[in-house]
Amino acid sequence: MKTNLSFIKTARDKIQLVNQKLLPQKLEYVVCKNGTDVAKAIKEMVVRGAPAIGISAAYGMYLSAWEATKKNKKLNIELFQKQKQLLDAARPTAVNLAWATQEMLAVASHFFTSDAAKAKDAQIKLLLSLYERALEIHNDDAERCLTMANNAVKYLVTKYPKEKYNILTHCNTGSLATGGIGTALGAIRILHEKGKVNMVYADETRPYMQGSRLTVYELQKDKIPVTLTIDSQAAYLMQKKMVDAIFVGADRIAINGDVANKIGTYSLSVLAKAHRIPFFVVAPQSTFDKTIATGAEIIVEERPAQEVLEIQGRPIAPKVPVINFSFDVTPQTNITAIFSEKETLE
């Protein structure tokens, strides 16, 4: 199954990232030639979505090595450690970022301790190994998206059979946020392909409007029926029995099943529980953080006040103090099931 969009174009000496801050009005690309460029793109939300951030960071690690080689600098493990630190700091909540940079660091570490590091063409071999690993991370994510999305759809139609479904989703979890068809949005795409979607309700997802700008854009491109709704209307839609299930993604999942995701996810889970509506999380294994026991240990990013006080540079409120948590944590007790490419957790 294919989509009509991708967040990235890749080459040996650069990547081009769709500037998601400009969608849907403009389709423009930001060129990144090293890890510093990629870190800036991640921090400024040119690219967003946990899997897409991880993929971009993997290429960023490779590109830093490529650039250093072009400048006749000798590659060493310190370069990769420094780049990992830089990239990881760009957005601390999404675990895919640190996972991907660790995978790339592992390639470099293994190389420098092997006989290959002593060969005449050592740097070329290392560059090839790094590029191949970044490409694997990218392609593997596409395969994972397909598998987890199919797992989610199979569960839904088996446990909650209906002729057609009204699905509510939050933020953007599609091909602009992943290497493939998406996580939660991937499940919606497959459900649509099976003729099982009546309507998708997309939350605007304040303050960055990833729902209205990106999710609606993606679904329109794929001709999937979509209706935009403001975040605070979700409860009323549920009360009116207009929602059959909720599908969201995740940026980090603790050992106990607590989930960090875009701000507003926790609210939806509380509402879903109150209205007895199934609440599903679709996310790859790379989102599972085996180093933290519960969601209480997740570092939740706080972003600039400007994102709330302005929309695309235009002021919409007086200059006052702002609370702008980018994510919230949904307890496992509010989640019906979590689907990954390997398992279903109930």
The pLDDT tens digits along the chain (346 residues) read 667 689 999 999 999 999 999 999 999 999 999 999 999 999 999 999 999 999 999 999 999 999 999 998 889 999 999 999 999 999 988 889 999 999 999 999 999 988 877 777 889 999 999 999 999 999 999 999 999 999 999 999 999 999 999 999 999 999 999 999 999 999 999 999 999 999 999 999 999 999 999 999 999 999 999 999 999 999 999 999 999 999 999 999 999 999 999 999 999 999 999 999 999 999 999 999 999 999 999 999 999 999 999 988 899 999 999 999 999 999 999 999 999 999 999 9
Q: What are 5's two structure tokens?
A: 């969009």
Tell me the per-residue pLDDT of 299-331, one tens digit each, with 9 for 90 and over.
999 999 999 999 888 999 999 999 999 999 999
C-beta of residue 152 within 8 angstroms of C-beta of residue 346: no
Q: Which residues are 314's β-sheet partners?
A: 311
**Phi, psi (5° rounding) for residue 105?**
-65, -35
Active site residue 251: yes
Token couple for 189: 């795409």
- Determine the Cα–Cα distance for residues 272 and 242; give it in Å rounded to an integer: 12
Distance CA 162, CA 314 (A): 44
Domains of the chain with bracketed CATH: 8-141 (1.20.120.420), 151-345 (3.40.50.10470)
b or e along 187-203 (b: 16 or more beta carbons within 10 Å of the residue's beta carbon)? bbbbbbeeebbebbbbb
3-state secondary structure of 339: strand
The whole-number pLDDT of residue 2 equals: 66
pLDDT at 259: 98
For residue 224, what are the CA distances in angstroms to 190, 198, 218?
Answer: 11, 9, 9
- What is the rounded distance in angstroms from the CA atom of residue 42 to the CA atom of residue 45? 5
Residue carrying the six token digits 């699905």: 167
Question: Dihedral of CA 266/267/268/270: which sign?
Answer: positive
Catalytic residue among 37, 88, 251, 258: 251
Structure tokens at 167: 């699905």
User: What are the tokens at 91?
Assistant: 């957005």
Q: Report residue 304 as tokens.
A: 């600039």
Confidence (pTM): 0.90
pLDDT recorded at residue 1: 67
Chain centroid, CA 305 distance in Å: 22
- Can you give the pLDDT at residue 287? 93
| Tokens 């706080």 sit on residue | 302
Nearest to 41 by CA among 67, 60, 13, 65: 60
Closest Cα to residue 317, out of 300, 329, 305?
Answer: 305
Beta bridge partners, 311, equal 314
